[in-house]
């Protein structure tokens, strides 16, 4: 019996798409809420867009550690900032104002 | 209602001893019959306007001490911490003021707020003669103890006794920030070592 269509949609993995196929860029949202990045670790493809949205009362940043150097700047409640990674790699990041807040961005796969 | 007593040390050599922390917690928790920890104590009788006043006072105290710390701190991480305290506690108080205005509530002074203010005055006096790395350690000791006490007060007094759902939500929303401040303060304090 053929699996239900909905199951095919949920479990279709873009990384298994045939070579030469062109996947449109995706938009990923990281909520900053309760003094945490949600999700704390995010995996995206080069060319995808990552959007951080601060829902906390206090200001935050999402700031790359290491040589990548990307930084959202200070986001007050309701602010958002986006970043489009172009190179593969793992980048840990923090909130510069609250260094106990940590996140990770993994860029992997075929560019979109 | 129990007598209001000082909650902070007067000696620069002991900016926030364990006994002082316990004392501050005792002052706060004595009001919290809902915790069951002091069943023999008089009822706390903290109204929502009084809870709002305690919250605004607690934020304001940390802003004022952070402003002082910015003029005195030696270590970059300590100065940055103080800047964050100003930013964060100011933001929280702005939300509290907006909420009070929306609800038509005027925060009302009370014994807990007075105790906090008396303690803040003593804390400032204890830090006043200190400079350099000695000041940094004493200030961070105080911030660790203060945020722990505020966290305990949120859990043991303020959140349980607040009846207004919007005010309670604000307090619940603030709690993670206080917990993060506490952890951040502990990390900085550890990095400063134990020498005086």
Q: Could you tell me the pLDDT band of residue A12, with boundaries at 50, 70 and 90?
A: very low
In a domain, residue B100? The reply is yes
**pTM of the predicted model as reported, rounded to 2 decimal places:** 0.79
B-chain residues near A57 (CB < 8 A): 91-92, 95, 173-174, 177
Pair B96, B52: CB distance under 8 Å: yes
Residues B91, A98: C-beta atoms closer than 8 Å: no
Pair A83, A103: CB distance under 8 Å: no
pLDDT higher at A35 or B13: A35
DSSP-derived 3-state class of residue A86: coil
- Alpha-carbon distance of B22 to B116, in angstroms, equals 14
**Residue A98 contacts B where some CB pair is shorter than 8 Å:** yes
CA distances from B118 to A17, A51, B25, B124 (A): 67, 45, 15, 10
Q: Could you tell me the pLDDT band of residue A94, with boundaries at 50, 70 and 90?
A: very high
| pLDDT at residue B77 greater than cutoff 70 | yes
At residue B196, the pLDDT reads 52
DSSP-derived 3-state class of residue A48: coil
DSSP-derived 3-state class of residue A43: strand
DSSP-derived 3-state class of residue A32: strand
Half-sphere CA count of B168, side-chain side, radius 13 A: 10
In a domain, residue B12? The reply is no
CA B122 centroid distance within chain? 13
Residues B179, A35: C-beta atoms closer than 8 Å: yes
Query: Least CA distance to B184: which residue of chain A?
Result: A100
Q: Which CATH number fits domain A25-107: 3.40.1050.10, 2.60.40.420, 1.10.357.140, 3.40.50.720?
A: 2.60.40.420
A-B CB pairs within 8 A amount to 39
Mean pLDDT across chain B, nearest whole number? 82
From B91, B173, B176, residue closest to A59, measured CB to CB: B91
**Shortest Cα–Cα distance, A25 to chain B (Å):** 34
A-chain residues near B181 (CB < 8 A): 98
In a domain, residue B38? The reply is no
CA A107 centroid distance within chain? 9
At residue B10, the pLDDT reads 33
Pair B70, B82: CB distance under 8 Å: yes
pLDDT higher at B49 or A15: B49
Q: Could you tell me the pLDDT band of residue A90, with boundaries at 50, 70 and 90?
A: very high
A-chain residues near B173 (CB < 8 A): 56-57
At residue A23, the pLDDT reads 86
pLDDT one-digit tens code per residue, A1-11? 444 433 333 33
Q: Could you tell me the pLDDT band of residue B44, with boundaries at 50, 70 and 90?
A: low
pLDDT one-digit tens code per residue, B123-174? 999 999 999 999 999 999 999 999 999 999 999 989 999 999 999 999 999 9
Residues A58, B95: C-beta atoms closer than 8 Å: no
Q: Could you tell me the pLDDT band of residue A68, with boundaries at 50, 70 and 90?
A: low
Query: Least CA distance to A36: which residue of chain B?
Result: B176
| pLDDT at residue B50 greater than cutoff 90 | yes
A-chain residues near B187 (CB < 8 A): 99-100
**DSSP H or E run through A53:** strand A49-54
CA distances from A99 to A36, A90, A93, B81 (A): 11, 18, 9, 10
Q: CATH number of the domain at B115, please.
A: 1.20.1260
In a domain, residue B6? The reply is no
In a domain, residue B157? The reply is yes
Domain count, chain B: 1
At residue B29, the pLDDT reads 47
Which tokens belong to B141?
């000791």
Which tokens belong to B133?
């790395």
pLDDT one-digit tens code per residue, B79-94? 999 999 999 999 999 9
- Alpha-carbon distance of B51 to A37, in angstroms, equals 30
- Angle subtended at Cα B176 by Cα B96 and Cα B141, rounded to the nearest 5 degrees: 95
pLDDT higher at A66 or A89: A89
Q: Could you tell me the pLDDT band of residue A112, with boundaries at 50, 70 and 90?
A: confident
Residues A100, B173: C-beta atoms closer than 8 Å: no
Pair A81, A52: CB distance under 8 Å: yes
| pLDDT at residue B14 greater than cutoff 50 | no
Domain ranges, residue B66:
17-32+47-191
At residue B46, the pLDDT reads 86
The alpha carbons of chain A give a radius of gyration, in whole angstroms, of: 16
| pLDDT at residue B5 greater than cutoff 50 | no
């Amino acid at each position: 019996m053929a699996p239900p269509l909905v199951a095919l949609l949920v479990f279709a993995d873009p990384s298994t798409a045939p070579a030469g196929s062109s996947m449109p860029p995706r938009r990923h949202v990281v909520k900053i809420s309760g003094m945490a990045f949600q999700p704390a670790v995010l995996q995206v493809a080069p060319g995808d867009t990552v959007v951080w949205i601060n829902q906390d009362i206090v200001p935050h940043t999402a700031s790359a550690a290491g040589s990548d150097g990307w930084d959202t700047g200070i986001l007050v409640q309701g602010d958002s900032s986006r970043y489009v990674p172009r190179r593969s790699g793992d980048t840990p990041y923090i909130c510069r104002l609250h260094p106990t807040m940590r996140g990770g961005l993994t860029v992997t796969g075929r560019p979109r | 209602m129990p007598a209001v007593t000082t909650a902070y040390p007067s000696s620069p050599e002991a900016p926030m001893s364990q006994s002082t922390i316990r004392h501050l917690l005792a002052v706060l928790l004595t009001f919290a019959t809902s915790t069951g920890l002091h069943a023999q104590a008089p009822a706390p009788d903290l109204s929502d306007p009084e809870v709002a006043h305690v919250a605004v006072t607690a934020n304001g105290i940390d802003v004022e001490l952070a402003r002082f710390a910015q003029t005195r701190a030696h270590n970059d991480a300590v100065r940055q911490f103080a800047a964050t305290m100003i930013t964060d506690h100011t933001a929280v108080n702005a939300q509290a003021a907006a909420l009070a205005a929306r609800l038509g509530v005027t925060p009302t002074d009370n014994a807990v707020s007075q105790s906090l203010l008396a303690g803040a005055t003593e804390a400032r006096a204890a830090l006043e003669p200190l400079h350099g790395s000695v000041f940094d350690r004493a200030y961070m000791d105080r911030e660790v103890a203060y945020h722990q006490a505020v966290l305990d007060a949120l859990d043991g007094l303020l959140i349980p006794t607040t009846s207004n759902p919007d005010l309670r939500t604000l307090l619940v929303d603030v709690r993670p920030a206080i917990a993060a401040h506490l952890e951040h303060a502990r990390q900085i304090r550890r990095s400063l070592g134990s020498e005086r």
